[in-house]
Amino acid sequence: MNRERIQGICRQLSGTVKQQWGALTADQQAVAEGARDRILGKVQEQRGLSRQEADRQLEDFMNRNRNWWDLSER
């Protein structure tokens, strides 16, 4: 197991903790950040990417699918 995969697992764990803390304190921003950290950690773990590359790939995906519910553009 390489270093990036271990960092991904740690990021997933910290995202889960952040998400639960946000739910406990009713902080919606912390909940959203925690969910994003979990997704980034999962991408980093599965693909063995650096933190920056996983973040870039998630940003690209989010930008491409920003208005996925708007079917008028299809």
3-state secondary structure of 1: coil
| CA atoms of 41 and 67, how far apart (whole Å) | 24
Residue 45 placed within a domain: yes
Residue 25 placed within a domain: yes
Residue 68 placed within a domain: no
pLDDT the model gives residue 10? 92
pLDDT digits (tens, 9 = 90+) for 13-40: 999 999 999 999 999 999 999 999 999 9
Q: Range of 56's domain?
A: 3-63
9: CB partners within 8 A, 6+ apart: 41, 45
Residue 26 placed within a domain: yes
Q: Is the pLDDT of residue 74 over 70?
A: no
Domain count, the chain: 1
Residue 24 placed within a domain: yes
3-state secondary structure of 71: helix
Residue 74 placed within a domain: no
